């Protein structure tokens, strides 16, 4: 058997083992199902959520705002990262503010956004945009500062103008860092949306978590967490897929 198929087999075996332990260990230890629900409890609850709690609409809302917040936040982060990267002056003037905002816990802004915009989708979108913005900005800015000066000089010697130098040398040079920033941002986007929905939403998986928590329905909370994780994994996988295609010219390291 090849090594790859052995790996797959072991991975599936571990998953099966985990699910079995989850199904049988808590009842065996006498843990009640409102504390730790079993796998079958969760599946039953998932069916009920589908019929009674508008599960599809809630998943769709969270997924859409995750992607939307990720797209807007990373576009803004990249745009400002590149602009600051082109101007050493503004980068120096604004860097203390960027650092302060980067350190400030973004999710703590959620109640403020609800006070300003009310109980609708705007606050959760804003939290997501804000949380996604910084890792992208910081990665892009760091990459712009480390573009090979000799490469830029070569482009200048070849009579490229400022815009062409950006387009043909600087932007492609920063692509690996931009992609790394986007990958980090994709995982944060799920957190942003969840917090927005937890604090003041009436739709989405974050809302189902606080609703289920209020009813002591642990199975509902677990299900929502699993679905949030799946949304995050899908977004992350899309980015990894895109990165492998965009950065095909970087030789892969063997592990």
What residues line the site for another protein (CB under 8 A)?
A: 148, 150-151, 153-154, 156-161, 164, 168-169, 172, 175, 249-251
State the Cα–Cα distance between residues 219 and 211, nearest whole angstrom. 12
Structure tokens at 196: 């927005």
137, 81 contact by CB (below 8 A): yes
Min dist. Cβ of residue 21 to another protein (A): 45
CB 49 within 8 A of CB 225: no
Query: Integer distance in angstroms from the first to the last C-alpha of the chain?
Result: 20
Task: State how far the Cα of 201 lies from the Cα of 25, in Å rounded to an integer.
Answer: 35
Q: In the complex, what is the shortest distance from the CB of residue 250 to another protein, in angstroms, rounded to a whole number?
A: 7
Alpha helices (H) along the chain: 3-28, 39-52, 55-86, 88-103, 110-117, 121-145, 149-157, 162-165, 171-200, 205-214, 218-246
Residue 247 contacts by C-beta under 8 Å, 6 or more apart in sequence? 175, 176, 179
Rounded Cα gap, residues 127 and 165, in angstroms: 35
Q: Name the minimum Å distance from CB 137 to another protein.
A: 23
Task: Compute the least distance from the CB of residue 246 to another protein, in Å.
Answer: 9
Q: Are 205 and 136 in contact (CB under 8 A)?
A: no
Residue 150 or residue 254: which is nearer to another protein going by CB? 150
Rounded to a whole number of angstroms, the minimum distance from the CB of residue 183 to another protein is 19
- Least Å distance between CB 143 and another protein? 14
Q: Which is nearer to another protein, 107 or 152 (CB)?
A: 152
Rounded CA-CA distance 187/237 in Å is 11
The least CB distance from residue 186 to another protein, in Å, is 23
Residues 6+ positions from 141 with CB-CB distance below 8 Å: 81, 84, 85, 91
Closer residue to another protein (CB): 49 or 169: 169
């Amino acid at each position: 058997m090849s090594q790859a198929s052995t790996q797959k087999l072991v991975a599936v075996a571990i998953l099966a083992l985990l699910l079995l332990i989850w199904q049988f260990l808590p009842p065996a230890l006498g843990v009640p199902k409102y504390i730790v629900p079993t796998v079958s409890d969760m599946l039953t609850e998932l069916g009920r959520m589908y019929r009674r709690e508008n599960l599809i609409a809630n998943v769709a809302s969270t997924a859409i705002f995750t992607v939307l917040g990720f797209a807007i936040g990373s576009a803004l982060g990249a745009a400002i990262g590149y602009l600051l990267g082109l101007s050493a002056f503004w980068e120096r003037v604004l860097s203390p503010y960027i650092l302060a905002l980067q350190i400030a816990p973004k999710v703590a802004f959620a109640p403020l956004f609800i006070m300003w915009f009310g109980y609708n989708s705007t606050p959760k979108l804003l939290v997501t945009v804000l949380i996604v913005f910084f890792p992208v900005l910081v990665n892009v800015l760091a990459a712009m500062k480390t573009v090979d000066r000799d490469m830029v000089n070569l482009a200048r010697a070849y009579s490229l103008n400022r815009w062409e130098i950006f387009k043909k040398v600087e932007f492609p040079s920063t692509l690996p860092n931009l992609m790394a920033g986007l990958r980090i941002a994709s995982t944060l986007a799920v957190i942003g949306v969840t917090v927005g929905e937890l604090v003041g939403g009436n739709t989405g998986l974050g809302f189902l978590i606080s609703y289920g928590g209020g009813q002591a329905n642990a199975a509902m909370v677990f299900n929502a967490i699993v679905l949030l994780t799946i949304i995050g994994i899908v977004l992350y996988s899309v980015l990894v897929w895109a990165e492998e295609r965009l950065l095909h010219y970087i030789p892969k390291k063997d592990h």
